[in-house]
Structure 1
Amino acid sequence: MSVFRSGDQPPSWCELTGFEFVELSGEPLPLPIEAEKQRLLVARGSCRLTSAKGAQVLCEGQFCDMDGADGPFTADAGDRTARILIFSGRWGTELGGCGVFQVTPSNTVDTRGDPVSYPKSTDFDSHYHDCDEYWVIIDGAGTVIVGSRSFDVEVGDCVAIGMGHHHDLPQVSADVKGAYFETTLEGKKRFGHLWEHRHGPADIQSERM
């Protein structure tokens, strides 16, 4: 597991090379293309993304890939405010999911995920993916576990999770809202949460830690 922030250099194995929060209010804001691949995700509110192909309105949790050939791009939130997240990197064409998730304290025992030996106070499930995944903390704070390692995270942290490594968010000290981005599918190319008790052993990429 690696945790980094906007402006930091991610580990060399990461397909995500950077991310940036952008606050929208008032006039349309130009969004330059600065990487091989860029994806805009709405982290709060809604925004209008305008390009040479026209305009579309995206609501919280929705995303759009920004192809440089369709530029220039601008974004605005109309007469309100919004927060967007720009992912930059070099991922492929077959991707996993992307969106916004929320985790709050819960007395409900998770029965979907793989068994764990550490204490839990959320109903989040321990799972793995056939791809790398990145979590960016939008609101709140908590403890993330990847494999046998744990790390306390807060607003602005990005957790880089390598393919096949079990991960979980078992404890929150303040309700968490986060963005997730599952990049290039590999191996069996299954999407979604995978569990060893249902899907078989994980294909762990040991160098991606």
Structure 2
Amino acid sequence: MKRLITTALLAAPLFAMATPVNLVTNGSFESTTVNSGTWTIVDAATGWTVGPQGLEIRNNVAGTAASGVNFAELDTTTNSWISQSLATVAGYTYTLSFSYANRPDNQGANSNGLNWSIGDLSGTVGQNTTTSWATFTTTFIGTGSPMTLRFGAIGRSDGYGTSLDNISVTTQNAGGNANGVPEPQSIALILAALGAMGIALRRRKA
């Protein structure tokens, strides 16, 4: 009996173990190859729907990335936007997080700023002259239907907007897994624990 209780106690944490998964695809814009010290404007990027004015991706020019080597700007030659549809579970609490900073050569607060939205929730950041990366974080409730995450440039359309990087959407529901489904390594641990419990139970009956 003691062995069974010990096994159960050891197995219990495994049911809660799962690494939060980022629901956002290409949240740091690393899927586009950009040489260091250069930038490019693209009309498509993995995971993202890109507005008609394109998406500017930079690597170690007019700033450095908050995560990885690439980062984005949505004021290309004029204000643009990007969006991505995310599958959510109804009633789950999700955390949206992203980094933003103004260019070292920014043209003043009126030139800067981003708006963001997810479902019915929205806001603005970066309408200042701060050039160091800051992180914005908020939470929202999943609807169970695809929810659109959108970012857009809102400052003066002059090619000198606010930078964006390191975008993530995660949840701690369902044992910490953002998708509400145990990851393969967690499933293996759970099965191993259940097996150990079964063996202990059979020995006890014998």
TM-score normalised to structure 1 length: 0.32
TM-score normalised to structure 2 length: 0.32
Compare CA radii of gyration and give the structure with the larger one: 2
More helix by share: 2
More strand by share: 1
